[in-house]
Amino acid sequence: MTNPLPQAARRLQDKVCIVTGAASGIGRSIARLFAAHGAHVVVADVTTDVIEGGPSTVECIERDGHAARYMRTDVSDDAQVQAMVADTVARFGRLDVIVNNACVRHARPLLELDEAEWQRVLDVNLGGVYRCCRAAVRQMLAQPADAGFETHGVRGRIVNLSSQHGMIAAPGDLAYGVSKAGVDYLTRQVATDYAAHGIVCNAVAPGKIQTGAGGRAVDPGVLDRATRRTPWPRLGHPDDVAAAAVFLASGEATFITGATLMVDGGWMAA
Ligand SMILES: NC(=O)c1ccc[n+]([C@@H]2O[C@H](COP(=O)([O-])OP(=O)(O)OC[C@H]3O[C@@H](n4cnc5c(N)ncnc54)[C@H](O)[C@@H]3O)[C@@H](O)[C@H]2O)c1
């Protein structure tokens, strides 16, 4: 068990939070940090297998001395997304935060990208965010503003995972970049349409984060380019992104909505 955060330092105490794609990588780190901050975490993923290896996310959270629940959810299936929210609310009474993090990759330039793979990447990375936002906002609008958020009248918070490649091209990776540009737009639109109803919606855009993902993510050429593009003298760690997600999920970020927070070591500034 790691040293627990003192009660006063916990920024998500008793908040009910879903993190999609939380079996591995950045989502796993977000789920663990949310739990350390006192949240009831639902780990929503298609698997409990950890790409980078080690015990499942729920086991890690339990070893850290907290509790979490795995719910098998494919974000490309609307019935499963609705069941994920319904089950969470049945168990915990409300939904305070959803982090839309699940993603797939299929890095191809236009002429090598067949339509089925284009559809699949968009269906998970963008369609999944649409479905999860829709199910979450429906629930959030039906629940009163939470006591902890009451002064701001916040009914719920959304944190979407974007990317620097939603803003600038990911060489040879068309569908992924398009999906992330869509996530950025969707974030602004949901924030705008539902601000008056107490929904806070933001995105985090990581730069190059070293997770366990293989393939192109660890291609020496990709790593070399990322290292040269990143002013900060190291690449990112999943915990860098998790810290930003905690901030955007917390009551400290209420007047911040429709924003995309770069967590990229300065990639987009250079
Ligand atoms: N790692 C980076 O450098 C980086 C950079 C920018 C943005 N991001 C974004 O951060 C997020 C996490 O990236 P990562 O590198 O940790 O990815 P990852 O590949 O390590 O993990 C993705 C997770 O999503 C899950 N998943 C896949 N399809 C799913 C589905 N249909 N339904 C539910 N879960 C599903 C996987 O099982 C896995 O646990 C993604 O949205 C990604 O686009 C990552």
In a domain, 78, yes or no: yes
State whether the beta carbon of 163 lies less than 6 angstroms from ligand 1.
yes
What CATH code is carried by the domain that includes residue 71? 3.40.50.720
In a domain, 2, yes or no: no
Q: Work out whether strand 68-72 and strand 40-45 pair parallel, antiparallel, or are unpaired.
A: parallel
State whether the beta carbon of 131 lies less than 6 angstroms from ligand 1.
no
Residue nearest to atom 19 of ligand 1 (CA): 213
How far away, in angstroms, is 20 Cα from ligand 1 center? 9
Q: Mention every residue, 6+ apart, whose C-beta is less than 8 A from residue 239.
A: 29, 33
CA atoms within 13 A on the CB side of 133: 27
Q: Show pLDDT as tens, one digit a residue, over the chain (270 residues).
A: 567 899 889 999 999 999 999 999 999 999 999 999 999 999 999 999 999 999 999 999 999 999 999 999 999 999 999 999 999 999 999 999 999 999 999 999 999 999 999 999 999 999 999 999 999 999 999 999 876 554 568 999 999 999 999 999 999 999 999 999 999 999 999 999 999 999 999 999 999 999 998 888 899 999 999 999 999 999 999 999 999 999 999 999 999 999 999 999 999 999
In a domain, 117, yes or no: yes
Interior CA angle at 161 toward 158 and 162, to 5°?
A: 120
Contact indicator for 56, 45 with CB cutoff of 8 Å? no
State whether the beta carbon of 88 lies less than 6 angstroms from ligand 1.
no
In a domain, 203, yes or no: yes
Helix axes 115-125, 174-194, angle to 10 degrees: 30
Q: Mention every residue, 6+ apart, whose C-beta is less than 8 A from residue 5.
A: 36, 37, 38
In a domain, 56, yes or no: yes
How far away, in angstroms, is 7 Cα from ligand 1 center? 30
Q: Mention every residue, 6+ apart, whose C-beta is less than 8 A from residue 27.
A: 19, 20, 21, 45, 57, 99, 101, 102, 161
The residues assigned a catalytic role are 176
Provide the domain count of the chain.
Answer: 1
Query: What is the span of the domain harbouring residue 121?
Result: 12-269
Q: Mention every residue, 6+ apart, whose C-beta is less than 8 A from residue 234.
A: 265
State whether the beta carbon of 50 lies less than 6 angstroms from ligand 1.
no
Segment holding 226, helix H or strand E: helix 220-229
What's the pTM value of the predicted model, to 2 decimals?
Answer: 0.97
Question: H-type helices in 64-126, by residue range?
Answer: 78-92, 115-125
Q: Mention every residue, 6+ apart, whose C-beta is less than 8 A from residue 228.
A: none
Atom of ligand 1 nearest to the CA of 76: 31
In a domain, 158, yes or no: yes
Atom of ligand 1 nearest to the CA of 124: 31
* CA–CA separation, 130 and 182 (whole Å): 10
